[in-house]
Amino acid sequence: MLGKKSDFTIHPINVLQDNIVWVWVHNCNAVVVDPSISGPVEKWLLEKNLSLKAILQTHHHDDHIGGTQKLIKTWPEAKVVASKKEHKRIPFQTFSVDDNDIFNLMDAEIKVIEVHGHTDNHIAFYISKQNAKCNILFPGDTLFGGGCGRLLEGSPVQMFESLYKLNSLPENTEIYPAHEYTESNLKWALSLEPGNISIIERLKLIQKKLQKGMSSLPSTLSEERKTNLFLIAENVEKFTMLRKHKDRWKC
């Protein structure tokens, strides 16, 4: 949550196998991040009498944009914010952005951070609000709870540099990834560092949450710095080794 609960909240909608569509609510307005499908999102917004102001798109994969066109039929005034470089793969975007662009939305300032690696032209959205206790990050498929995205189009160097950018944000930044992968990622990390107390404690905590039907997310950058092996890899060679190991690892 960012700010007062009655003023500024973020809610998860779990869809498909492990996708999370985040809905950021301010008063009677909402912004949706990476809607995989439209049905559950539309239902949630209508039940709460919310007006959809914008859709933030981190990248072009169908499990992130699959519901967008249906949603903008229901709310035609909603902006679709996406990378200017992705006009061909996200052709329905109406508000195109570049790296380091800053724009205002729902009484908050949003900075665009280009984070290549999982795909070309992947972007993250970093949101700050005056007098808030923390800022928030929607990293898409770049940074996960305890992990990072697979290298489907980019290189290890690109992903390493992207994670470095995100790791440069304030440590109290709340992180809202697009997938519920935390438990699996931490089990993998523990297989490499079985004596790591921070990983052991975090895994126990999120397992209790999942057993209660709760999400393991959001996390904080401070938490990721203690338990995310990809984020704290000291060089590209180490990161590359970890990414290859994770790609082959089976829970």
Q: Is 7 one of the annotated binding-site residues?
A: no
Give the separation between CA 104 and CA 126, rounded to whole angstroms: 11
**C-alpha dihedral, 2 to 58 to 221 to 41, nearest 10°:** 40
Q: Is 107 one of the annotated binding-site residues?
A: no
Phi, psi of 233 (to 5 degrees): -60, 130
Phi, psi of 177 (to 5 degrees): -65, 165
Q: Is 63 one of the annotated binding-site residues?
A: yes
Q: Is 61 one of the annotated binding-site residues?
A: yes
Q: Is 179 one of the annotated binding-site residues?
A: yes
Going by the annotation, the residues of the binding site are 59, 61, 63-64, 118, 141, 179
Going by the annotation, the residues of the binding site for Zn(2+) are 59, 61, 63-64, 118, 141, 179
